[in-house]
Amino acid sequence: MIVEYIRYRIPADRAASFEAAYGRASASLAAASECVDYELSRCVDEPESYILRITWNSAEDHLEGFRGGEHFPPFFAEIKPYVGDIQEMRHYEKTAVRGDGGSVPTLYEWLGGGEALERLTSAFYREVLKDDLLIPLFAGMDPHHPQHVALWLGEVLGGPAAYTEHQGGYRHMVSRHLGRGIREDQRRRWVNLLMDAADEVGLPTDPEFRAAFAGYIEWGTRLAVINSRPGVEAYDAPMPKWNWGGHPPYRG
């Protein structure tokens, strides 16, 4: 993805009309498949300074797809009076230097850390090994499997990178599902038992946490079904990093 930054200097007497124009123009960005997201910010220290940030799938998607498509004319019609106020308009590539600040706890911290996840997976796999629908998938399960899954969940939900460091990371997780032919009814039972275990061991029940947690479990189990189908080979990908807002589609 490419991030475009456009810096404006707008006199105070034109600020309200400028923001209103971009409010209308944003409808075109929202409708454009080339656009990932956008945000207009106003400087607190110098209120005449604005920065528009637009994330595009690629520079080509912006310069050729969007500008050559149906959504550009109405967008440009709204912002044309302010083109002369642009001070900078450039594309930037994201680097590996990124992360979240400490003002918002990670899901890992919120649920109680590694100890809570070990309680969760222990209670969960106790029931899995008694379930007629799931036991064929887990026959001969490594006795340390619940601990390994706790490490995986911990890393995904914002905790230490212990699964990557000690268990082989994403590629290893994929390899554990190859050829297993997981069915949809088995996936659903897995999800239901895990949610029951979350209640049993006292994971937080606030709607925000449970929605984020359930979102990951749905995403992860559906991917496991895909990876278990015939013909899928081992592959690597970035380790999922789940937060309160979920996880964007992965574009490999």
- Give the pLDDT confidence of 135-177 residue by residue, as tens digits: 999 988 999 999 999 999 999 999 999 999 999 999 999 999 9
- Which residue from 220, 224, 198, 219 is spatially nearest to 210, judged by alpha carbons? 198
Instruction: Summarize the confidence of residues 223-232 as an average pLDDT.
Output: 96
Question: Any idea what DSSP says for residue 95?
Answer: -
pLDDT at 221: 97
- Which residue from 117, 135, 145, 142 is spatially nearest to 190, judged by alpha carbons? 135
100 assigned to some structural domain: no
Q: Are residues 114 and 10 in the same domain?
A: no
Q: Are residues 118 and 56 in the same domain?
A: no
Domain count, the chain: 2
252 assigned to some structural domain: no
Helices (H), 176-237: 184-200, 207-227
Q: Are residues 85 and 157 in the same domain?
A: no
225 and 182 Cβ atoms separated by less than 8 Å: yes
Q: Is the pLDDT of residue 99 over 90?
A: no
pLDDT at 139: 85
**In Å, how far are 73, 123, 141, 146 from 183, measured between CA atoms?**
48, 23, 19, 21
CA–CA gap between residue 68 and residue 54 (Å, rounded): 17
CA–CA gap between residue 241 and residue 148 (Å, rounded): 17
Is 174 exposed, middle or buried (CB count within 10 Å of its CB: 0-12, 13-18, 19+)?
A: buried
CA–CA gap between residue 194 and residue 188 (Å, rounded): 10
For residue 46, give its domain range. 2-93
* CATH code of residue 84: 3.30.70.100
| pLDDT tens profile 186-219 | 999 999 999 999 999 999 999 999 999 999 999 9
Q: Are residues 169 and 219 in the same domain?
A: yes
Q: Is the pLDDT of residue 248 over 60?
A: no
Predicted TM-score (pTM) of the model is 0.75
Please give the mean pLDDT across all residues of the chain.
Answer: 95
Is 52 exposed, middle or buried (CB count within 10 Å of its CB: 0-12, 13-18, 19+)?
A: buried
The two three-digit tokens of residue 225, written as one number = 């079904």
Query: H-helix or E-strand containing 151?
Result: helix 145-156
152 and 169 Cβ atoms separated by less than 8 Å: no
Query: Where residue 89 falls among pLDDT bands split at 50, 70, 90?
Result: very high
* CATH code of residue 208: 1.10.490.10
Residue type, 16: A
pLDDT at 97: 87
Residue carrying the six token digits 């006795």: 143
Q: Are residues 163 and 194 in the same domain?
A: yes
| pLDDT tens profile 103-123 | 889 999 999 999 999 999 999
Q: Are residues 80 and 164 in the same domain?
A: no
The two three-digit tokens of residue 152, written as one number = 């995986």
**Dihedral over Cα of 106, 108, 111, 113: its sign:** negative
- ∠ CA(94), CA(40), CA(209), 5° rounding? 70
